[in-house]
Copies of this chain bind each other. A is one copy, B any other.
């Protein structure tokens, strides 16, 4: 059996940064070559970043992606890496790119992979199964491919597949068995979800057995707006056995020697039609880097980590990349002394270091002594840049000039805090971090344009009970490493309060979080209705109260005002573009 040294490059591209992403491919290809690799694979749409959303409809962007691919092929050859086959994801489209003023929008775009060799793309593959659920809208963006691309590399038949091709049955993996390939390369932009890694490995094992081939699964890492990619790249043998697995949430070069079955030559031929209407397209790579000498390369495998560790690392990476890819020098957040802002501050310090994090205590007449002390304690523990900005003078001026009472006065305090944080942002350039957890967002327990202001919310998708678990885990982990636990025990232990009126507690308005969260999880995450929740054992009266709060809080979750659409391209409704986007028409 031929031996092939494979390198999977688990890298962190940025959406729209074609030049930077190409540079990433060049530098990691060099690292792979230095490690003796004979075949290298990068993630899905690594050249453009993923997901590019409505950039797909811009012909100029499609043309730029194709031009960047051609340039990259040439640059790799110029770098002395021409013989090394490099698989990269990019954006392609049917027909020549159009830049005329009357060009059609980019219908017919393709989520594409290319195998680069000796200065050219010698093989291309277009993603066959397009996901159109959850965060994916690929039926809007792409036309599915109908070819199975088989490239003979060092005597081994290798087929290229992309992400969802793995998750759906049939298609390229079934066709790969028919074509008798030895290796399936599967390139991914597969966003993180808690425990998705526990599903991914069994899935890759099953597909390997179905395809009767080794699977090389490479995923990107890094944050892109609300998505974070975990990596978790891996190699699984044709028998379903795990051969190598990369760690989560970091860039990583996974190099592993594979013994693969040589192509027999009696497989299906070029142009033959296989399952699901896939036609075989055969290509051959004639030259390869010399077989490496010395010890065999093994990528190794990783140990699973606790849920809290996994989520913490996901949140740190998502925050760090949002801040850095959008080129913010620093972040600012309000420190109430409560658990949510304490956890966000600790995440921010882990992501950016204490010198890039400004924490502001914003006490009012309702702020308790322990709140102020806990905020100061957090600042000392983490070393962040700590400020105190009392809000009472501004609150009093509003109250002196308007007739306000009740919830209007409560919200006023939260909004004055929002104005102060945004003023610091304008004055000093910080990104404002929002600290509302998912339970609060679900039931609308927050002030519009008050505690909800900010450019990024690291805990937006974290239920309150998980916030507490994360805080405890982070403190224990600090002790384990001999460091100061960042989060004051007081902030973890005390009953939650918004402190907008005397003696106010969350429990005045909401069920206890250990009652609330399971209902919310069933309703929001599980799409259960009232009857399903009651059947699960929840108190019907509490269920009714909670569901009504969730149903009427949608406007708060939007925050941006909806407005009547009168055109084909209304902002927000029709147009879906990343916030973090390095693409500029003028280069």
Q: Which residues of A contact B (CB under 8 A)?
A: 54, 57-61, 99-101, 103, 105-106, 132-135, 137, 139-140, 191-194, 223, 225-228, 311, 314-315, 318-319, 322, 326, 389-390, 393-394, 396-398, 400-408, 411-412, 415-416, 418-420, 422-424, 426-427, 434, 438, 441-442, 448-449, 452-462, 522, 524-525, 527-533, 535-536, 543-544, 547-548, 551, 554-555, 557-575, 577-579, 581, 583-586
Contacts and interface: CB of A to CB of B under 8 A. Distances in A.
30 contacts: A59-B527, A103-B532, A132-B139, A192-B565, A193-B568, A194-B567, A226-B570, A226-B572, A226-B573, A311-B566, A315-B566, A318-B563, A393-B400, A397-B397, A398-B423, A404-B423, A404-B426, A411-B426, A412-B423, A448-B453, A453-B561, A456-B561, A456-B562, A458-B564, A460-B565, A461-B566, A525-B568, A530-B586, A554-B578, A558-B579
Contacts of A536: 101
A564 B397 contact: no
Contact of A419 (B137, B140, B419): B419
Nearest to A55: B527
Given A420-B402, A427-B408, A525-B569, A563 B415 contact: no
A317 to B, nearest CB: 8
Given A139-B139, A555-B579, A565 B461 contact: yes
Contacts of A581: 551, 554
Contacts of A403: 427
A584 B551 contact: yes
A229 to B, nearest CB: 11
B571 A441 contact: yes
Contacts of A105: 527
Contacts of A570: 226, 460-461
A564 B132 contact: no
Contacts of A416: 419
Contacts of A548: 584, 586
A93 B202 CA distance: 31
A130 B69 CA distance: 34
Nearest to A450: B422
Nearest to A554: B579
Contacts of A535: 99-101
Contacts of A422: 411, 415, 448-449
A552 to B, nearest CB: 9
Contact of A427 (B61, B405, B559): B405
A393 B397 contact: yes
Contacts of A565: 135, 191-193, 226-228, 460-461
A140 B137 CA distance: 8
Contacts of A586: 530, 544, 547-548
A461 B529 contact: no
Contacts of A457: 561-563
Nearest to A104: B527
A400 to B, nearest CB: 7
A220 to B, nearest CB: 15
Contacts of A60: 529-532
A414 to B, nearest CB: 10
A198 to B, nearest CB: 14
A106 B529 CA distance: 12
Given A434-B563, A456-B563, A458-B564, 18 more contacts: A59-B529, A60-B532, A133-B140, A137-B137, A194-B567, A226-B562, A226-B563, A227-B565, A314-B564, A318-B564, A404-B423, A418-B449, A438-B571, A452-B561, A453-B561, A455-B561, A547-B584, A557-B571
